[in-house]
Amino acid sequence: MSNRLLLDKDHLVVAKPGHDATNPSLAEGDKLFDSSWLFSSTIVEAGIHVDQASYKYGRPPQNVIQWDVSTNDSYTQVINFTPLPFVPTVLLLPLADSRYWRENGAVLLSADKKNKYADYVQRQGSITVTNSQIRIPRIRSAAPNSDTWYFREDFIYVIMAM
């Protein structure tokens, strides 16, 4: 029977079934955890942020999934989380408009708005992270002397302990 746990004052190794944690040559892929690692996928918090901004236009008659929906609201979106003693690494994944999720039974991914709209739009500032907030300034139309509008944005967010 293999010894799957190595624990002393300064080192903890947990091996996968069938592997010996006390083996100093144990391959990384055969470990579940090693306290020598720099990161072990510890997650502080994860979820979905749904934009509360108004819709500039009504829903189109076609039954299609919109991903670039406009709003007249300009405010910066804020995702709050339990204050940490450090500023975490955050993963933000853009989503298609939340109006379409329930009828499709799924959370829906989005394209990058800059890839399609390029210089016609610009974010009003950098996305920033503190020890308790993610602040996401809105993307707005950039063309001068034109009707000013902004994008609604929904996100998956993952706050990592790193």
Partner 1 sequence: MADKIIIGKNGDEHGIWVARPGQTVQDGGPYLMSSVGDMLKIHAQGSIKSTGLNQSQGLWRHKLEVPFPELPFIPLAFMGLKTSSSEPFQFPPDLYNSIVTEFYGTGNWGYVSHLPKIGMSHKALYFVGWTDHYECHFNYTVFLLKLREKF
Q: Which residue ranges make up the site for partner 1 (CB under 8 A)?
A: 7, 9-12, 33, 35-44, 46-48, 60-62, 64-68, 84-86, 88, 93-96, 101-102, 104-112, 115-116, 156, 158, 160-162
Could you tell me the two tokens for 76?
């910066």
With respect to partner 1, which residue has the nearer C-beta, 48 or 75? 48
| Shortest Cβ 92–partner 1 spacing (Å) | 9
| Shortest Cβ 33–partner 1 spacing (Å) | 6
Alpha-carbon 19 to chain mean position: 34
| Shortest Cβ 121–partner 1 spacing (Å) | 13
With respect to partner 1, which residue has the nearer C-beta, 1 or 102? 102
With respect to partner 1, which residue has the nearer C-beta, 110 or 122? 110
User: Are the CB atoms for 150 and 140 separated by under 8 Å?
Assistant: yes
With respect to partner 1, which residue has the nearer C-beta, 99 or 135? 99
For 85, which DSSP code? S
User: Are the CB atoms for 113 and 95 separated by under 8 Å?
Assistant: no
User: Are the CB atoms for 78 and 134 separated by under 8 Å?
Assistant: yes
Q: What separation in angstroms does the CA of 29 have from each of 43, 47, 48, 73?
A: 20, 28, 31, 48
| Shortest Cβ 100–partner 1 spacing (Å) | 9
Q: What are phi and psi of 113, to 5 degrees?
A: -65, -30
| Shortest Cβ 157–partner 1 spacing (Å) | 9
